[in-house]
Amino acid sequence: MENALLKLTVSIPTLVLWGDHDPYIAKHFAERFGSKTVQHFPDCGHWLPKEAADEISKCLEEFFRE
């Protein structure tokens, strides 16, 4: 499954938003998606959209604008 994901991220622009204090998945996994853009949120955890809603909205707006 990871190989299929990596094939997609090579041809489709991908944005990874990652809460570094996620208690379930270590922050180094954010780099495994093959995404050109990885945005770490050092003060957030697993529920990133809830914890940093405004910042996430800005990141998504910018990403989709490009």
Domain residue spans of the chain:
2-65
Contact 48, 56 (CB under 8 A): yes
Given this model, what pLDDT does residue 10 score? Answer: 81
* The predicted structure's pLDDT at residue 63: 94
Burial class (CB in 10 A: 0-12, 13-18, 19+), 17: buried
pLDDT of residue 41: 96
Q: What is the pLDDT of residue 19?
A: 96
Q: Is the pLDDT of residue 1 over 70?
A: no
Question: Mind listing the pLDDT tens digit for each residue in 21-53?
Answer: 999 998 888 888 888 889 999 999 999 999 999
Question: Could you tell me if 13 and 36 are in contact, meaning their C-beta atoms sit under 8 angstroms apart?
Answer: yes
The pTM (predicted TM-score) of the whole model is 0.81
